Amino acid sequence: MTKSAWEQEKEFRDAAVPMDRRTAAASWEHVADFPHGDGLLRWHWHVRVPGSLAPDIFFMGMVQDWANQGYDVREAEALLPEGVRLEAEGRIEELRVLSARVMRVLKEAPKVPGHPYHQYEHPASWEDVKAAMPAAAGYAPLSGWRAEFKDQIYQGWLGQMAGGSFGTAIEGYTGERIRQVYGDVRGYLIPPETTNDDVVYELLLMDVFERMGRKITSAALADEWVKMLPYGVSAEGTALRNINLGIYPPESGTFLNPYCDWIGAQMRGMICGMLAPADPMEAARLAHIDAVVSHARNGVYGEIYAAVITSLAFVIEDPRKIALDGARYIPAGSEYAAKLAFCFETLSATSDPAEAWKKLEKHFERYNWIHAYPNLAADLLALWYGGGDFTESMMLLASAGLDVDCNGGLVGNVLGILNPVPPAWADPLGDLLETYIAGKEQLSIRKLAEQTAALARK
């Protein structure tokens, strides 16, 4: 009997042993010449994450997430082992055909009657999303602009860069495997590398925001993506394909996009919170505009949550209260809201983070390591038990594993806004953000923060 996609992916992930980044170099060189044709096809069947060198199979994750969205994917699941074998043997002509068959059966997969995913409400337009938020009734911003927001934005950027750099070296592995190789991780394993594929989307949003202000649109963001991005992965790669075919937001985030519930939007919502400090509803609105370029439903709600808790951190000092209050900006009948509630129930039931994570990890085992849900659980673990301490919170993220750089970026941003980033984390950054965006290869973090504050104050 063929194993389900999530069981195949879990076995693959559990078996992946980290390549020790203290002795192995990152592999960002592909950015200059991103694979295409047969190279790209093989890349989707066998790839290593640039920063951590973790192995991945995107076709497997694609089928896995289609199943989590309530589709019958048994026919596609049966094809996965053969696809892995064909790629390993270099049988490209056969792999082309099999890959097309996987896409066809996913496209034609019927919905599973009574599947839990279909029992939830998933409002799509901003008006409907806002109407479904518990926080919408009688909403008012928590504060106007304050002078201290400028430095908080700077510290937020520092925290995001520090957390992201920390996690880049270990993302894509389970917490257990990370402990086997690195032990108890409480600091940078290697000199921080700020290059990743997370922050670039925030920079592009800032460019469009600078031109359009709060009249920014998803269509304008889509144009900026096509203009500036050399490549995209998973949901973002699918969105770029769609936009290039003339399929613009919000359809670009939904059309044949099985990754639409993944973390790609959740990982970039912090800029929306920094552009709307102490105004979480405006942060949520900006996040919705950005998220629908590449995501839908729970993937969109993930960016809203990231933006909202970032915005709340400017005026609320307790990380637990920030996390709890942020949930009020998620549509009440959504699956994302239900997962938040489960996380809070689990975290509230014990004072032991290891015990809590064991329950959370089991609950989310059906989801890919790049899915929004298990990474949301890791974020909440760090905010709940970290006590606002940067080092302790990063340690908790490492103990959870998964998409550690995305999670480190979000948690680090929130913690930086709350309290200045400790020198041990801030100083090694050297005020340098490196990207693969033309014209933004090397940026000053301080100047980026000053630009963000100027835009937020407008």
What is the pLDDT tens value at each position of the chain, 458 positions in all?
Answer: 789 989 999 998 899 898 888 887 766 555 556 777 899 999 999 999 988 999 999 999 999 999 999 999 999 999 999 999 999 999 999 999 999 999 999 999 999 999 999 999 999 999 999 999 999 999 999 999 999 999 999 999 999 999 999 999 999 999 999 999 999 999 999 999 898 888 999 999 999 999 999 999 999 999 999 999 988 999 999 999 999 999 999 999 999 999 999 999 999 999 999 999 999 999 999 999 999 999 999 999 999 999 999 999 999 999 999 999 999 999 999 999 999 999 999 999 999 999 999 999 999 999 999 999 999 999 999 999 999 999 999 999 999 999 999 999 999 999 999 999 999 999 999 999 999 899 999 999 999 999 999 999 98
Distance CA 454, CA 155 (A): 15
Please state the domain extents for the chain.
Answer: 5-119, 126-457
Question: Of 81, 43, 90, which is closest to residue 60 (Cα–Cα)?
Answer: 81
The angle, 0 to 180 degrees and rounded to 10, between the axes of the packed helices 404-418 and 149-168 is 160
Tell me if the bond preceding 134 is cis, omega within 30° of 0.
no
Question: Of 208, 151, 29, 220, which is closest to residue 419 (Cα–Cα)?
Answer: 151
Q: In 246-268, which positions are buried (b, 16+ CB within 10 angstroms) versus exposed (e)? A: ebbbbebbbeebbbbbbbbbbbb
We find that the CATH architecture of domain 126-457 is Orthogonal Bundle (1.10)
Burial class, 420, CB count within 10 angstroms (exposed 0-12 / middle 13-18 / buried 19+) = middle
Distance CA 85, CA 307 (A): 41
